Every structure is written in C-alpha cells, then in structure tokens.
Amino acid sequence: MTTAAVRTVELDQTTGTDRPASGAAGVAEGLPWVEDAGKIAPKDARELSKLFFDRLQVLEEGTHEYQYARNTLIEMNLSLVRFAAGRFRNRGSGEMEDIIQVGTIGLIKAIDRFDLSREVEFTSFAVPYIVGEIKRFFRDTSWAVHVPRRLQELRVEIAKAKEELAGTLDRDPTVKDLATHLKITEEEVLDGLIAANGYAAGSLDSPNEQSDDGPANGKARTVADTMGDTDPAMETVENLHALAPLIQELDDRERQIIEMRFGQEMTQSKIGEALGISQMHVSRLLARTLRKLRTGLCVEA
C-alpha cells in the first residue's frame, strides 16, 4: 500500500485493531486515516475498499465517521469513473469534466447500494452503475430535438444493426434488411431513422459538403445558401385550389360577375353596363357572392 497516501496508524494494544494516529479527528475506529484517497493505487484501493465497506455497514449514517468512510470510498474509486468515462470521450458534444461528474453520481449510487455479503467485487458492481448514469446523461441532454425515449433507444439499436449487417452483407443494409434483423416493421425502422436526425443539429453557416460548386467570391457556399425559401405565390395557389369547387356551386350570373371583376379586372360600372343592371345592383350581388365564398372557405377549414 502506498505509505505516502495513508498516515501511520496506532495499534490498539487492547483490541489489536488499527486506530488513527492523533490529529485524525472524526475517523471511525478500525479505519486508517487516508491522507489523499485520490493517490491510492487501484490495486490498493480494492483492498482498502473492503475494509471501509465493512465498517460503513455498522456506522451510523450522518455521523462524521460515516461521512469519512463514505467520502474516502468515493475518492479511492474515482479511477473507475475515469476509466468508464474514457469510452465516451468522442461521443456527442459532452465535455469530459461533465461526463466525469455524471459518472461520479453513478459511483455514489453504487457505494450506497453495495453489500459485501454478495461476494461480488465492487468494481464489477460499480461499473454498470457508472456507465448507466453516463448513458442516461447523453440520452437526456445530447439530443438537439426532443424525441420519445422509445425512438432514442431504437436509434441505438438501428446503428448497431447497420454496423453488423454492413459487415455480413458487404453493403449498406436496406430498411427491409434492418426490419428483418431487428424483428420490427419497416415503418418502425423509418421512424427510428427519422428520429436519428434529431440527435445533432447542423449549423446553417457550415460549408455545404454536397455542393459541387466552387467557392464564390472566395467564400465557400454554406447550407443556408442552398436552402430554398417559401414561395409567396404558393398561398395564392392554395387559395385558388380551395375556391375552385365553391365557385362551381355559384349560379351563372354570380360566376360571370366574379370572372368580370377579378378575371378581367372590370370596374363595377363596366360590369353593370355589360349586364344591363345598375352599379349599385352589381355591388350588392358582388358583396353577396363574396360573402358566400368566405363562408364556404371557413366551413372547409
């Protein structure tokens, strides 16, 4: 054991147990005073952890002795967190410091739930807790767009299936291949693939990798440069499409007035002259017809 990290302990001549040297206030009887738990070698930490877990089970929660034993266990086993966090170093946009903090929460949960009577090594017990906490962190925070948890998990399954099938088929798997492999429907696979688009958001200012055009004026084209915009004429097309069946329901004179007023852009007086009626009569007929069309559009909506 590294002597620099553990202070000398006095042997209780009466009981034969180790007791902390003077100055180690708050240390439970039977436990050594650890100067810097973070410097304990992993092999030594495993042996010391057994001693600390044994004492932790009989100490009263909330006491200084209990806190010392628990905190020392946490510090001694932080190497497990760093080991597990290394697997996620290049995943998503999470900072390594954040990943370690989240993994430490998993370590603390493992310490609070560990029981020596299970005869299982603490490392084997703790790593799943640590990894699970880190995965939960990525699942809940890394998605640029929130999607249901079912689809988040399906995305992971599809990614694994893609990699496995690509090796066996020597090509990219189709939706049907993925559905057969995962024993789900093709619609579910498509849902998972669409949901995967919400994992990371791209910047509109990023270069457009799919564009074959060279730089314009010395500046590369961005994604925003190649994106279309809403055509203002589309609303007119939609309105005309919705109006067509309503206009067909009008009588001949009403359709004629609408055509002359809006199609030929004739004034009301000119329409009156063409139909042999007064301008006032044309105005009333036009207002009634437009009101009928508006009512029909509201009902359709």
The Cα 270–Cα 265 span in angstroms is: 10
| Number of neighbours of residue 107 by Cβ within 10 angstroms | 22
Count Cβ atoms below 10 Å from residue 239 Cβ, excluding itself: 11
Q: Hey, what domains does the chain have and what are their CATH numbers?
A: 9-141 (1.10.1740.10), 144-202 (1.10.10.10), 242-300 (1.10.10.10)
Instruction: Supply the pLDDT for residue 93.
Output: 53
What's the whole-number mean pLDDT along residues 130-159?
Answer: 75
Distance of alpha carbon 158 from alpha carbon 173, whole angstroms: 10
66 exposure class (CB count in 10 Å sphere: 0-12, 13-18, 19+): middle
Residue 214 to residues 135, 209, 218, 222, 224, Cα–Cα distance (Å): 41, 11, 9, 11, 16
**This prediction's pTM:** 0.43
pLDDT tens by residue, 240-278: 788 888 888 888 888 889 889 888 889 999 999 998 999
Q: What is the mean pLDDT of the chain?
A: 77
Tell me the C-alpha to C-alpha distance, in Å, between residue 78 and each of 39, 123, 248.
10, 11, 77
268, 283 in Cβ contact below 8 A? yes
Interatomic CA distance for residues 65 and 67, integer angstroms: 5
Tally the residues of the chain.
Answer: 301
- For residue 21, pLDDT over 80 is answered with no
- In the block, tokens 């006095």 appear at 10
Cα–Cα distance for residue pair 196/178, rounded to 1 Å: 15
Nearest partner of 271 among 287, 282, 259, judged by Cα: 282
Tell the residue number behind the tokens 């810097």, with chain if given: 36
Q: Is the pLDDT of residue 8 over 50?
A: no
pLDDT, tens digit (0-9, with 9 covering 90-100), for 43-99: 788 888 888 888 888 888 888 889 988 999 999 999 899 988 888 776 655 578 888
d(CA 158, CA 3) in angstroms, rounded, equals: 51
In this prediction, residue 143 has a pLDDT band, given cuts at 50, 70 and 90, of: low
